Structure 1
Amino acid sequence: MDNPATPTTRLVMEFVTELYQQLERELNEIDLQTNDIIERSKSSFEACEKAIAKLKEHMATYTFDNMAEEIYFFKELKPKFYSKLIYHVRLFELESQKPVGITKSQKKYFNRHLSEIMRYNQDHQNICKYYRSGAVYMDELYFRRTKLNLLIGFDLSYFNCNESFCSCHDHTVATLLANEKIADYLNSELLKLKNHQRVVAPIGIEDTGISWAESKASFIELMYGLQTLGVFYNTKTKTKADMSQVARFFEMALGVDLGNYYRTFQEIRIRKKGRTIFIDKLREHLIQRMDQADENPRYN
């Protein structure tokens, strides 16, 4: 039986956990700052790189206290970091190579990448089923830095990794986790295309090419303000529209994915730079425009 974790062990694992939580906070902040997926994925990739560099540096001279700790690191901790990195690299590639303006081509593009994820899962179905089921009986072979065994398989990325920092399948788990998020993104994009056709095509509205230029957080701040003021009315229930109805309306009308807007609102509530940054900015600029119109009636 493995010995209990020493105080040093606990401190190291606490450092890794805190480092990951810090990365998540930084990624959330980046998500609030811009609505441009390409810019967001670039900034997020850089944040992930820095966190992983710190992780490697911290673990370079560390000796695991016991087998259970080693397995826990390679099965649970390390894959979380790398799944974030893989996700943002893939997201950048998907967005930067996405066909422009043709719904049929975009559908084909997103479905092709969904098929690639399905093939990857099929090719790695044993480890996929093992990990998702919460099984532990192969942990010693899958998630320890032992000699490679062709009978149990391994991820080819192992050959590009420092042996002291890799197990047979920690990268496979990271890829599976990243693929889950990429699949969510692809399905969300397909749903937006479907909803856009439903809203636009029947009433013949031409695509103007206009899109929201501020951050997603700014839009959600404005949306919550409008809903709170009660400016939206549900004609079916004869009542003020609730937030889920308002959010759904904007997602369909504008072809945007607001994601977990409730979580974003909670982050807006506690941000240090102020709660209503966008609404304050909106008010300031509108007053400036009115002042300019007062001075020059031709200005509008």
Structure 2
Amino acid sequence: MDIFYVYPYLLLLEQGDCDAKKLNEASNDFIRHICRLHEGHGDRLRVFFHLQYMKFRLTVLRERYHNNGQNHLPCYCHVVGAIMYVENTMERLGTPQEDTGGKTGCPPGEGPPVLWTADAINLVELLYACHELKLFNNGEISLKDLTAHVCQTFGVDVKNVSSYYARMRRRKGDDRTYFIDRLREVLLRKMDTDDEKQYRRNK
């Protein structure tokens, strides 16, 4: 294993290529590779230095994209998610799992964990809307408890959920619900595209 190997995913992020499809495919490949490396490589110290090098490059990218405008928001979100995944993997390196022969990583036969790799504020925006609609526990759960549970499940560090809400309220005009509006936009676009494909097949 080359400690200074650069994944195609990292190259896309460094080039500022914000094509969602390319990033998602490269991200999945990156996570699978890190998971296999963590599970199967015998030299833990070498794996640790490899991950540390990845984290360093990703941290530099995070600073580059921070406050760099909406054009690079997808890249910034991917960078934050990748850093969290690398950090979690580094933490697990020091905690051997039971019944795995001293190895750590993904359980045999299972894929990588499901992590939220977009910006945390996007998840908070979604959870606020769901909470207002009482979609969890018929509304019999506090927003704080809901956020804590979901964020822990998806590996997101949200210490003060109200601060994220304050940031959303400070947005201007149509950007106040940027993420939810974006979800609607991309889903409608997919439906339209699939409708068009089906129409062509049926002609």
Larger-Rg structure: 1
Return the TM-score normalized by structure 1.
Answer: 0.32
Return the TM-score normalized by structure 2.
Answer: 0.46
Which structure's relative contact order is higher, taking Cα pairs within 8 Å and 6+ residues apart?
A: 1
